Structure 1
Amino acid sequence: LSRHLVQHHRDKGRVDHDHKWSTFGVVMNTVQKDNYQALRITNSNSKAWNIKMLGEGSADAGGPFRDSISNLTEELYSKCLPLLIPTQNNKNSHGWHRDCYTIDPSSTRESHFEMYKFLGALMGMAFRSGTVIDLKFPPIIWKQLSGDTLTMDDLKGTDIYAVQAIQSLKENKSKFPKEEFEMGIDLTFTTQLSNGDTVPICEGGEDRPVCYEDVEEYCDLVLQTRFGECRRQINKIKEGFEAIFPVGLLGLLSWKEIETRVRGPDEIRTVPICEG
C-alpha cells in the first residue's frame, strides 16, 4: 500500500468508486478471496492480513495492520469513499448523535454493494475477534443488524428535523379545521432522504398533494421510506457479516451490545493500582 498515492488521489478530490486505490479498496482486494475467510480471526492479537507500506520501510509485526484499520476507518468518514455520509443531525449540529455517519442511499453501483459487503465482513471480524473498528453509526443502523423494530426515536437520532416536521404536521391537524389546515400547507407525498434527495413515498407521490385526511397515511409512509432507504446496502453489510459470524445469532444481543463488540466500550474503566 502506498499511502503517498492514496493521499495524492484524495488531494485531487477523487472518489474510489471501484475499490482500486484507497486503503479500504486495497485491503478489500487482498482479503476478498474465499468470501473473506481470512477475516475469521478469533482474538485481537491476530492479523487478518499482512500489509507493507511502500516507501516507509515497514515490516508488518502488527503496527501496519492496525494502522491500515485506522486509515480505512478514517476514509469511510471522508469523501474518498462513497459509502457513508454525515447524518442530518451531524450536518446541522443539532439533535442526538451529532458525530454519527449513516449509509448513503444513492450508493447503488454493483461495486458499491461489494464494498458494503466488505464493510460487513470487517464488522464481523471486529465482533468475533475484539479488533476494535470505530464505526460511528447511529442506533438506526445497529438496530437493523440486531433485528430490532425501528421507531420514530430512531429517525430522531439521525434526522431530528424530519421528526419535528412529522410532529408539527400532526399537531396542526389537531389544531385547525380542514380548510385552514389545507390552506396552510403545500406538501406532496414525497420525503427527503439522508443524502438530501427528494423521493416519492408512494406511486405518483410527487403529484399527490397531502390533504387533511391524508396526514396519518403520509406520516406512516414517510417513516416507512426513511426506515427502508438503505435496505439494500444493509442487506449487503449483513451478507458480509454472515461470512464471519452468523447474523442470526445477533438477535440474542441488544443493538448496544453489538455496537460495543464492534466499536469497543464508550467509556474505559480505570482502577487504582494501589490503595491510598
Structure 2
Amino acid sequence: MKPFLLLSKQSTALITHCLRSSESTPPHTPPKLYINRHLAREHRANPALDPSCRNAVFTQVWPHHAPRRVPARLLLLCRWPLSYSQWWECEFITEGIFDNGGGFRDSLSDVSEELCPSSGDVPVPLPFFVRTSNQGNSSSDTRDMYVPNPSCKDFPKYEWIGQLMGAALRSREFLILSLPALVWKQLAGEEVSWSKDFATVDSELVKLLELLEGVDREAFEFMFGRELTYTTVLSDQRVVELIPKGSSTVVRYEDRKEFIRLVQRARMEESKEQV
C-alpha cells in the first residue's frame, strides 16, 4: 500500500477518503468524566506506591471505554469525523474547572505524559511502555524513546491506546508518544531492519553484534572467554534464554553467528504481542 501511495499524486485525497469512509457516528453529547488530577500527580511522583495505577489520569478515563464496566452508551468509540473535536468532557475534581474543550486536551496531554514521560529523570507512571536502552546513551539521537513493555500483558488497554492513536490521527489532536521507528514501522506493517531500525532502540547492542560477527578467534576468547551464554536482556531488563538451558550454555566462537541471529530475533520480536 505504501509504495502505491508514494507514487500516487492523489495519495492525500485517497487517505482522506479512506478515513471518511470508515467513520463512526459520534455521540450527541460527549461522555462526562470526573478526573482527580491531584491524586494523579501523587501517583506520578511515586508510582511504586500503587502498582495498580488506579489514580493515573489514564486509568480514570479507561473505565468509560471498557465494555464490561459501563453501559454501551458511554463507550468511547474512536472512529469519529474530524469535526468531532472533543472526545469527552472533563470536570477536574477539587480544581473548580469545567470543560469547554481545554480540559479535554489537558487530560489527553496528561495521558501522553503518563504513557511516555518527556523527562528522563522521572519514573514511568504506567506499565505499558519502557524506556529504550538508548536513553542511557547520550550519544544517540534517538535516546528519548519508549517501546511497548514486553512484560505487560494488559492487551485490552494496549488496544485502547491504539484506538486513541487512531482517533488523534483522524481529529488532528495531539497524543505525544515517543516511539522509535521500529515500533512505528511494525504498526504500519512495514518491513523492519536490524541495523537501521533496531538501532533506534539499542544502538550499542547493534554495534556489539557487528563487532562480534567480525572478530577473530583470539579476540573473541579475550573479550568473552566463557562468560558469553545464550541469553539476552530485553528492554524491560528481563534476562531470557535463547535456547533451552541457555544460561548455562557457553557460546563458542564457531557458533557466534547463530547466537547473533537468536539475539536479533528475540529483540526484534520482544514487543510483538503488544504491538
**What is the TM-score with the length of structure 2 in the denominator?**
0.75
Matched residue, 1:132: 174
Q: Deviations over 1:194-239 (max 9, x none)?
A: 12222111222212211122111111111100011111111xxxxx
**Aligned counterpart in structure 2 of residue 50 of structure 1, from 83, 86, 89:** 89
Q: Is residue 231 of structure 1 aligned with residue 272 of structure 2?
A: yes
The Cα shift of 1:17 comes to 4.6
Matched residue, 1:219: 260
In structure 2, what is the Cα distance between the partners aligned to 1:10 and 1:159? 26
Structure with the higher helix share, 1 or 2: 1
Residues 40 and 48 of structure 1 are in contact (CA less than 8 Å); yes or no, is this contact kept in structure 2?
A: no
In structure 1, what is the Cα distance between the partners aligned to 2:253 and 2:87? 57
The Cα shift of 1:14 comes to 3.7
Q: Deviations over 1:212-267 (max 9, x none)?
A: 22111111111100011111111xxxxxxxxxxxxxxxxxxxxxxxxxxxxxxxxx
**Aligned counterpart in structure 2 of residue 31 of structure 1, from 44, 49, 65:** 65
Q: Deviations over 1:54-98 (max 9, x none)?
A: 122222210100000001111112422111122111122232311
One-letter amino acid of the structure 2 residue matched with residue 88 of structure 1: S
The Cα shift of 1:40 comes to 2.2
**Aligned counterpart in structure 2 of residue 95 of structure 1, from 125, 131, 140:** 140
- Unaligned 5+ residue runs, structure 2? 1-34, 118-123
In structure 2, what is the Cα distance between the partners aligned to 1:63 and 1:195? 35
In structure 2, what is the Cα distance between the partners aligned to 1:213 and 1:154? 27
Q: Is residue 162 of structure 1 aligned with residue 202 of structure 2?
A: no
One-letter amino acid of the structure 2 residue matched with residue 42 of structure 1: P
SS state at 1:128 partner: helix
The Cα shift of 1:44 comes to 6.4
- CA shift in 2, pair 1:44/1:156, >3 Å: farther
SS state at 2:97 partner: coil
The Cα shift of 1:102 comes to 1.4
Residues 158 and 274 of structure 2 are in contact (CA less than 8 Å); yes or no, is this contact kept in structure 1?
A: yes
SS state at 1:232 partner: coil
- CA shift in 2, pair 1:233/1:90, >3 Å: same
Q: Whose relative contact order is higher, 1 or 2, with alpha carbons under 8 Å and at least 6 apart?
A: 1
The Cα shift of 1:126 comes to 1.2
Q: Is residue 22 of structure 1 aligned with residue 56 of structure 2?
A: yes
Residues 230 and 259 of structure 2 are in contact (CA less than 8 Å); yes or no, is this contact kept in structure 1?
A: yes
In structure 1, what is the Cα distance between the partners aligned to 2:111 and 2:102? 14
- CA shift in 2, pair 1:142/1:36, >3 Å: farther
SS state at 2:130 partner: strand
Q: Percent identity?
A: 33
The CA RMSD over aligned residues, in Å, is 2.2
- CA shift in 2, pair 1:14/1:207, >3 Å: closer
Moved more, 66-75 or 28-37: 28-37
Q: Is residue 197 of structure 1 aligned with residue 242 of structure 2?
A: no
Map residues 62-211 of structure 1 onto 2, 5 A cutoff. 62-78=101-117, 79-108=124-153, 112-152=154-194, 153-172=196-215, 175-176=216-217, 181-182=220-221, 184-185=223-224, 186-211=227-252
- Unaligned 5+ residue runs, structure 1? 235-276
How many residue pairs were aligned?
Answer: 227
In structure 2, what is the Cα distance between the partners aligned to 1:61 and 1:104? 35
The Cα shift of 1:12 comes to 4.2
Residues 212 and 220 of structure 2 are in contact (CA less than 8 Å); yes or no, is this contact kept in structure 1?
A: no
Residues 13 and 80 of structure 1 are in contact (CA less than 8 Å); yes or no, is this contact kept in structure 2?
A: yes
Residues 44 and 114 of structure 2 are in contact (CA less than 8 Å); yes or no, is this contact kept in structure 1?
A: no
Residues 234 and 270 of structure 2 are in contact (CA less than 8 Å); yes or no, is this contact kept in structure 1?
A: yes
SS state at 1:102 partner: strand
- CA shift in 2, pair 1:37/1:55, >3 Å: closer
The Cα shift of 1:37 comes to 4.7
The Cα shift of 1:184 comes to 4.2
Q: Deviations over 1:1-24 (max 9, x none)?
A: 111121233344446654522101
